[in-house]
Amino acid sequence: MKVNLSGRRGLATTTVACAVAAAVVLFAATRSWQTVVTVQPAPLPPLKVDRTGTEIAPWLTALAVVGLAGAGALLATRAAARLAVGVLLVVAGAGVAVASLVALGDHVRVAWPLLCVLGGLVVAAAGVVTVRSGRSWPGMGARYERTSTPARRQHAQTDMWDALDRGEDPTRGDRPE
């Protein structure tokens, strides 16, 4: 089965997948990954400290935030900028996956790191799809772009007043009288 990821549907699917995967990484990174038990002299009980994924691999949350920002940037960019966002998503997703895999070991609970690996792979896949299909996706509408600078607009208004001072009708354009 071939999935068509061009046009608006491809942009929407990739953006939502990237945002959800990055949010999952943020959630999983803040859960308890490891419980460290420190033996204390008697009669004190052993000291138990839970360590989250962000304590074990602090860059996980930063890379997840990059993934979330990248999802928003997919909607706001076009052409070369969108290609750069796609490459950034590939790097961020791969970084999340590698950091999560490196954190495995030393009695770390496996579920949360593997969820981070899965989220990182989805973010990286969104980046790959963006690099491959991003040029066929639509950009934001022209209504979000500035059409003229205020100085040009001001100059055009003064030209109209000058035409009125000369006795010309600026609304008539090139039509003969």
The residue extents of the domains of the chain are 7-138
Count other Cβ atoms within 10 Å, centred on residue 167: 6
Q: Of 33, 67, 28, 77, whose CA–CA distance to 52 is shortest?
A: 33
- The predicted pLDDT at position 16 comes to 96
Distance CA 79, CA 135 (A): 6
- The predicted pLDDT at position 107 comes to 84
Architecture of domain 7-138: Up-down Bundle (1.20)
Tell me the pLDDT of the chain (177 aa) as tens digits.
566 777 888 899 999 999 999 999 999 999 998 888 888 888 889 889 888 889 999 999 999 999 999 999 999 998 889 999 999 999 999 999 999 999 887 788 889 999 999 999 999 999 999 999 988 888 876 665 666 555 555 667 788 888 888 888 877 765 455
